Amino acid sequence: MNIKDLPTDERPRERMIEKGAEALSPAELLAILIGSGNQEESAVQLMQRLLTDCGGSLKVLSRLSLNDLTKNYKGLGSAKAVSILAACELGKRRMMEAAEEKRYIKTSTDLYHIMHPRMRDLPHEECYALYLRADCSLEGPPFLISKGGITSTQVDVRLVVREALIRQTPTLALAHNHPSGSTRPSKEDDNLTERLQKACMLMNIRLLDHLIVTDGNYYSYKEEGKL
């Protein structure tokens, strides 16, 4: 069933033109992307079912793989599934841009607000270094140090410090995520923080913080008095 088969006042495109995007439900917005459903469902009905399976959460939807979509939902071929995932990625990048408009990091909360949009939906661990000028403004976007598995990622302290020397920044911060949702630091996290702090002291670089980011919370070594 194509969108054009629906009554005019139920077609998402026409409703968006007439009333604006904010008047449409998430399912209707997604239906515009895929254009048609299957023999049993319209595009809107198919997207309603998909979102229901995701608990109504666009965040959960964004974590699905291409195979999840094409295998489990009749009418979603590769092209339509790619369109859905591309839209999710665009939404994520817009949030990252909005967060990074705040270019100064003076507190752990500032650091969290910049890193949370980048890390909130990751199914694996990633570690970023953020390099700050003397006025605590960011010198470029967060720098990806390493990407790992579900429970850990390997960080080369030499790479972190080397980048600070190249950029000639007097301060740096480190942030990595815990996909499990736990903010509790591991022994490896503690060891990494200790090694990085020693390396920074040796090179006369200030380690502002090491932040563990989860969806909705964080652990700060600075706030906990461990830096």
Which of 182, 117, 122, 127 minimizes the C-alpha distance to 153?
127
Give residue 80's pLDDT: 95
Chain centroid, CA 177 distance in Å: 10
Cα separation, 132 vs 138, in Å, equals: 5
Cα separation, 58 vs 55, in Å, equals: 9
Give residue 100's pLDDT: 62
For residue 43, what are its two tokens?
């595009």
Q: What is the pTM of this model?
A: 0.62
Are the C-beta atoms of 12 and 28 separated by less than 8 Å? yes
Model pLDDT for residues 131-151, shown as the tens digit of each residue:
999 999 999 889 999 988 666
Q: What is the average pLDDT score of the chain?
A: 89
Strand ranges of the sheet holding 206-214, from the earlier edge strand across to the other edge? 143-147, 126-132, 171-177, 206-214, 217-220
**Domain boundaries 102-220, CATH class:** alpha beta
Confidence of residue 7 (pLDDT cuts 50, 70, 90): low
Decide: helix, strand or coil at residue 201.
helix
Which of the 8 DSSP states describes residue 127? E
Q: What is the mean pLDDT of residues 98-108?
A: 76
Give residue 9's pLDDT: 63
Q: What is the mean pLDDT of residues 36-64?
A: 92
Are the C-beta atoms of 175 and 105 separated by less than 8 Å? no
- The domains of the chain are located at 3-93, 102-220
Cα separation, 159 vs 41, in Å, equals: 53
For residue 216, what are its two tokens?
């909705």
- 166 burial via Cβ count (<10 Å: 0-12, 13-18, 19+): exposed
Model pLDDT for residues 174-215, shown as the tens digit of each residue:
999 999 999 999 999 999 999 999 999 999 999 999 999 998
Q: What is the mean pLDDT of residues 165-182?
A: 95
Confidence of residue 18 (pLDDT cuts 50, 70, 90): confident
Longest dimension (CA), the chain: 71
